[in-house]
Structure 1
């Protein structure tokens, strides 16, 4: 066993028995490289990464290759989910080298940690050859490597303002610019199959969150169609676990058919929010089912005893990708009996299998659909009651048959940021569907974050939790996602403790993640000033599968500015958006969460205050209709929060105040009156 056996990360522990003399990232490895004057190999991956497992089997378990690595390099293994700061720096370096990034990410560094070469997966012989070439270059052409490393270090230390040519701009929130953002983004839509016009296809929830907000302003039917076709095809496709609920990370094709089968908490958390938000607009029962099933999946397979959610499930089980989730036709016939015929029509089952055969040579089927329950029932001449009963019975049989199978590996570390995303998903689901269990689970998650992942003395967040211990100084992504989750929970429950905790964390961010250089002061660093110093300190700007921490934080500041009457927070959010706006107008597809905030700012946001004993009933009635450009504040009796202070009920009835820009209209007691006041 190597040093990784002392780590808690499941990904690092997977490599604890490699013959490679792996070190975790830290002072010991960096000091060794410096003292022995050896190049460093940093190999970065994560536990649910299929090709990471392949490279481990082929190369890192190979005694001869391990000997080369041990003799000539200091080898460091990094879990990218545990250390996103390290991953971001060396991924940026590899991009600067002109290499397509991905995982496993293997980067060669000088002894002082400056990168000079990097790449992703290589087969074993090519990997061994590369190790020899790098060793020779380090020994014989050291000056050239050092020069190259210095260039990449300069690139990494250039400010994002320089890299993206961001000039200081006053944000101008106009319907014309919003329309330009949409039209530029729409050029890349797959209008037939949903998603973007490419393969593989990733869910990318922030794109459709933006489209929901754009549609709210414009009523553009093309945008609505794109939302519906995408959400429908994802929910019906193989990327969604039709039996157990929950989404896989992406589809390898452009049909949402064949997933890369790992399930990540961050995808499912964000998709809970997206499908919940889309439901009041569409009233689509499919979206309701997705939300309920996905929460059931997360509770069943990802919930830790302490109350946090684990990170991921592998794609593989028994060494075979997708084996847990796929079916042979004989299996389905035996389990379903007389129900097989209609089930095979609905889920496109074929005798030889609709996907690649397993290691046993038998053809396997991915369950996927192209029509909704309603469409299939109509074609079959069934009532919806009959359809629901038949599906329920068939799914229960398959779930029971699947349960004893060898399960995919579980990454059982709990990440603060991803749990913040899950908290928002649960709170949003409760707001829309009113299911008490959803609120219970949301409060449990919030209590876990506030109790187990927050340092009670300093107020700092910790990034990861495993074996009863929280560790790694929190990153901006942790603060941004957790604040967002607390704000969602406050607007679902009206428990003011969560709003005040969100404000406390925001104050911490302002103090410890800010930039003292006045020319770039709007945007926040990814790392805490009290955290480990790396060779560069970066700011995360571009939205990806998870939105950029700066874009989430800008949204938090805007929401808090309204709920807490903090104009300075609103000014900071507008400054951040103003700095990004030129880039946003050029590349809206890379900045869709920023675009959502922009859409919120095109028209004033409704500030809705509810006072009285029926506060939750009124809140539910307001949330039942699609109106994303609002914030909610409420209390049963009295409150000192700015939106509620010094307000009273009308004639003893629960009363609603609708305000814009801190100016309120006359109070009303009827929700229908609220809709007449909103614009």
Structure 2
């Protein structure tokens, strides 16, 4: 191995490969590194990040690429690099440890462990001088005060063994669904940013599950304040710098309250959820900008994030040429050179400033001006303006394509891909555009062939599937995607696949002592503690998704045992839905479904596609759909005859059905 290449060169992780030429003697997490630490009695340094992480790149450039700093690391520690997207179990465990030490979490996450993998110190980004000081101090302390470090590490180990479920689980003491929802809404409403959307804080993450819950809250209560906050949030985010107005797709978060300056990396999981959110919001409001956002994001997904076999890549980096956002921003001089006589109009539309509206004379494109006002001010009709805008976008696309592109993390993560399938199916349902469905089906076929063996899922794929098997979010989102695909197509294969995976997940992840699921399976590599994921983050809680899966599949397959599991899971955490809805919004959705109940819609007869499409374009968040054009052994389809030669629709609750009807309009009148 040459001095400029370490053992990470054999990894398939794009993030680890970024560090393969560091002088640091990096190991991947595994037996080789852990046994070396035990054998040599050395502390372990675990450095965790991901390929599109800006500050991970900064710390690598400032510290890990320098021989003198690497020498300190190599001499005193066994150094392990972890891709948090491939090993979220390790990331979750040691993030919790660092937060228990009073440190704000983030990435890069640098954690020091005893040779027995017990954490005793950690932090996030360190400047080079601070990093060297930390390394030297820990090395000295480990030699001089080993017993004290071991005591701290043992205290942290015991803390990590505590279960969030044990801490927060309570018997259901709600006053009923209406009261529960009102309490949750009041908590959220107290922190609404009513001018700019989202919540009244910065940095701002979009947090789609919060707004998906509020759409459902509005559906039940007709509270216009809830809907208005969803609308202003989606309008502001689609108009802000957080959204790539030229190519589509959202960045991870905004550093300010105005959705103006993003942290420029684009993550698949954000855009997957936003496909669902903007589609559902369009179904409720028919605001055309929401539809445009879905289509633009889908185009970006197809053009920049899709493998030829149908898998979706993980992320686009924030940086290009080592500069954050450089690919996306414009100087006023560039704008003038490219756009000619149309430049003044477009400068006003996108709110560019001669000296730049951001850093270093650069401009971030935003478009907060109401289009009607803009057209009126400039005495333009919509058709003329569309021609100008389309022409300008083509010019800007061409110019931007000549720049050095941000790095692409081209691994395929099972959970994030299945989440994207959910977003695509939701878009197909609302817009009845076969392109969404075909992309979803192609991706799910890829997942079931490249990332599944029997009932075992694998975490990721890059030319081949990973050694690491799937975690709970992988199973939860694949099950959810297959349940959605079944309802969009009535192809029973997807329902049976989902049922098989539920059975496997119950066998491998479920803890019957408290009624919730571990994040890692029985056969996964054992870590210091086996955790359960309860709270939502930028990705919703995998336990909340599993509660929904159990309730939906239990309804569709008439499995009361699964439904009762879902009831128990949601009721025991319902008090947190009321007190902490920002971090429990997916649970709020699941709790509402369980307490309100889901309509069971059955469609029978020939040529159901038109009826199914018409049904899908309604906003009906509390309905599950089944159908067959022929015979079926599915329990809810039994004894549902076709009446006459027209499609027949049955609206049922708890397997008790209203009178059969023949049109969507008639069926809608029977929905509670």
- Scaled by the length of structure 2, the TM-score of the pair is 0.98
Q: Bigger CA drift: 235-244 or 385-394?
A: 385-394
1:480 maps to what in 2? 476
After alignment, is 389-398 or 224-233 more displaced? 389-398
- 1:38 and 2:31 equivalent? no
Within 5 A, what are the aligned runs for 1:105-120? 105-120=109-124
- Deviations 1:205-243 (CA, angstroms, capped at 9, x unpaired): 000011011011001000011000000000111000000
Tell me the CA shift for residue 168 of structure 1.
3.9
Contact 1:172 1:578 in 2 (8 A): no
Match of residue 300 from structure 1: 303
What do residues 320-346 of structure 1 show as CA deviations (whole Å, max 9, x unaligned)?
111111111121122221211111111
2:198 aligns with one of 184, 195, 199 = 195
Instruction: Deviation per CA, 1:592-621: give whole Å up to 9, x if none.
Output: 100111222342321111112231211221
Please say which of residues 599-608 and 64-73 is displaced more in the overlay: 599-608
What's the offset of the Cα at 1:625?
A: 2.0
What is the DSSP-based 3-state SS (H/G/I as helix, E as strand, rest coil) of the residue aligned with 2:651? strand
**SS across alignment from 2:247:** coil
Aligned to 2:64: 60
Aligned pairs for 1:354-373 (under 5 A) are: 354-357=357-360, 363-373=361-371
Question: In 2 relative to 1, CA 240–547 (structure 1 residues): closer, same or farther, beyond 3 Å?
Answer: same
Moved more, 164-173 or 610-619: 164-173
Query: Do the aligned residues in 1 keep the contact of 2:459 with 2:465 (CA within 8 Å)?
Result: no
SS at match of 1:310: coil
Q: Offset at 1:379?
A: 4.1
Deviations 1:94-152 (A, max 9, x none): 11111101000000000000000111101001100111110111001011100010000
CA pair 345-674 structure 1, distance change in 2 beyond 3 A:
same
Q: How does 1:635-674 map to 2 (within 5 A)?
A: 635-674=628-667
Q: Are residues 391 and 636 of structure 1, via their aligned partners in 2, closer, same or farther at CA, if it must alter by over 3 Å? A: farther
Question: Is this contact kept in 2: 1:210–1:599, CA < 8 A?
Answer: no
- 2:577 & 2:619 partners in 1: Cα distance? 26
Partner residue, 2:33: 29
User: Does structure 1 residue 440 correspond to structure 2 residue 438?
Assistant: yes
Matched, 1:523 2:526: no
Instruction: Provide the C-alpha distance between the structure 1 equivalents of 2:485 and 2:342, rounded to a whole number of angstroms.
Output: 43
Q: Residues 215 and 59 of structure 1: is their aligned pair in 2 closer, same or farther, counting only changes over 3 Å?
A: same
Kept after mapping to 2: 8 A contact 1:171/1:577 = no
What residue is the counterpart of 2:381 in the other structure?
A: 383
* 1:356 Cα deviation after fit: 0.4
- Please state whether the residue corresponding to 1:631 is helix, strand or coil: strand
Give 1:471 deviation, angstroms: 3.0
1:467 counterpart residue number: 463
Superposed CA offset, 1:447-486 (max 9, x none): 0111111013xx1000010123343110001001111111
Distance 1:174 1:391 in 2: 48
Provide the secondary structure at the position in 2 that maps to 1:471. coil
- Larger mean CA deviation between 240-249 and 561-570 belongs to 561-570
Residue equivalent to 1:129: 133
Distance 1:625 1:380, change over 3 A: farther
After TM superposition, give the deviation of residue 190 of structure 1 in Å: 0.6
Paired residues, number: 668
Q: CA contact under 8 A between 2:551 and 2:594: conserved in structure 1?
A: no
- Structure 2 gaps of 5+ residues are none
Please say if residues 41 and 75 of structure 1, whose CA atoms lie closer than 8 Å, have aligned partners that are also in contact: yes
Q: What is the aligned counterpart of 1:229 among 221, 227, 232?
A: 232
Task: Give the Cα–Cα distance (whole angstroms) in 1 for the partners of residues 635 and 277 of structure 2.
Answer: 29
Q: Is the 8 A contact 2:241 2:366 kept in 1?
A: yes
* 1:247-396 equivalence runs, <5 A: 247-357=250-360, 363-396=361-394
1:359-384: CA deviation from partner (whole Å, max 9, x where unpaired): xxxx2111101134444334434333
Q: 1:571 is matched with which residue: 557, 561, 564?
A: 564
Encode CA deviations 1:2-47: one digit per residue, 9 max, x unaligned. 1111100000000001011000000110000000000000000000
Residue pair 1:213, 1:600 contacting (<8 A) in 2 also: no
Distance, in Å, in 2 between the alignment partners of 1:455 and 1:178 is: 41
Q: How does 1:405-420 map to 2 (within 5 A)?
A: 405-420=403-418
Show the counterpart of 2:608. Answer: 615
Q: Does 1:423 align with 2:421?
A: yes
Structure 2 CA distance for aligned equivalents of residues 161 and 427 of structure 1: 32
- 1:587-602 maps to which residues of 2 (within 5 A)? 587-602=580-595
Deviation at 1:172, TM superposition (A): 6.5
Distance (Å, rounded) in 1 between the aligned partners of 2:380 and 2:628: 47
Q: Which of these residues, 508, 516, 519, is aligned with residue 512 of structure 1?
A: 508
For residue 173 of structure 1, report the CA deviation from its aligned partner: 4.4
Secondary structure class of the residue paired with 2:112: strand
How many angstroms apart in 2 are the aligned matches of 1:280 and 1:656? 21
Q: Contact 1:486–1:499 at 8 Å: present in 2 too?
A: yes
- For 2:49 and 2:496, how far apart are their aligned partners in 1? 37
Matched with 2:221 is 218
Unmatched runs of 5 consecutive residues or more in structure 1: 358-362
- Where 2:111 maps in the other structure, the secondary structure is strand
Alpha-carbon distance in structure 1 between the residues aligned to 2:646 and 2:372:
42
Q: Structure 1 residue 401: deviation in Å?
A: 1.5
Q: Contact 1:171/1:579 (CA < 8 Å) preserved in 2?
A: no
Q: CA deviation at 1:636?
A: 2.1
Instruction: Tell me the residue number matched to 2:488.
Output: 492
CA 1:338–1:625: 2 relative to 1, 3 Å? same
Helix, strand or coil for the counterpart of 1:246?
coil
Cα offsets for 1:505-546 (capped at 9, x unmatched) = 111111100114x2x1x1100001011111100000000100
The answer as to whether partners of 1:373 and 1:387 remain within 8 angstroms in 2 is no
Alignment partner, residue 360 of structure 1: none
Given that 2:458 and 2:470 are in contact with CA atoms closer than 8 Å, whether structure 1 keeps it comes out as: yes
Q: Provide the rounded CA distance (Å) in 2 between the counterparts of 1:173 and 1:546.
A: 28
Q: Structure 2: how far apart are the matches of 1:142 and 1:13? A: 34
- Paired with 1:384 and 1:556, the residues of 2 have a C-alpha distance of 45
Q: Decide whether aligned partners of structure 1 residues 291 and 375 sit closer, same or farther in structure 2, where only a CA change above 3 A counts.
A: farther
Moved more, 552-561 or 226-235: 552-561
CA–CA distance in 1 between the matches of 2:46 and 2:175?
Answer: 44
Q: Partner residue of 2:89? A: 85
Q: What TM-score, normalized to structure 1?
A: 0.97
C-alpha spacing 1:292/1:38, structure 2 compared with 1 (3 Å): same
